[in-house]
Amino acid sequence: MITRRALVAAGAGVLLAGCGAEAEPVPPDAELLGAVLAAERALAGAYALLEGRTGGVLAARARSHAARLEQAGADPAPAPASPAGEPLEAALALQRRSMAACVSAVGVVRSPAGRTLAADVLTAGAQHAAILLTRLGRDPVPTAFPRGQAP
């Protein structure tokens, strides 16, 4: 689960990136955004399996994110494997993977437009995760001070 602490840590990592030894070369933006694209495509399929209006709405949003990433030139990575089990749990697991890919991309994508896009998808992903947790009967925000652990 992506937490505020993880986002702050990612930001601190970006600030410290200029310090110390020579860093490894960063992959091109298209490759970095490709992981997010692959996750969003997998999410669209997982959301389509959910019953009711919520699944359709979330699938449409995931397809919209994928289209925006494609327009930004994202080079799709292999799709993550869809977790087995109950559809809501599987969708939540994929949503968390998408959010992790977004956090990684936000920290290293060079273009401002690419960073903004990854941040937009991350923000929407947090909203979607809260919706899924609510549908699962769990507290979408179990604590105001998360410790970086999934509930």
Query: Domains in the chain, please, with CATH?
Result: 27-135 (1.20.1260.10)
Quote the tokens at residue 12: 């601190």
Q: For 24-59, b where at least 16 C-beta lie within 10 A, e where not — what string?
A: eeeeebbebbbbbbbbbbbbbebbbebeeebbeebb
> What pLDDT sits at residue 19?
55
* Entry pTM: 0.77
Quote the tokens at residue 52: 């009711």
Burial of 77 (0-12, 13-18, 19+ CB in 10 A): middle
> What pLDDT sits at residue 10?
57
> What pLDDT sits at residue 80?
85
> What pLDDT sits at residue 27?
84
Give the model confidence (pLDDT) of 93-134 as tens digits. 999 999 999 999 988 999 999 999 999 999 999 999 999 999
pLDDT beneath 70, residues of the chain: 1-23, 144-151
> What pLDDT sits at residue 92?
94
> How big is the CA angle at 49 (ends 95 and 69), to the nearest 5 degrees?
45
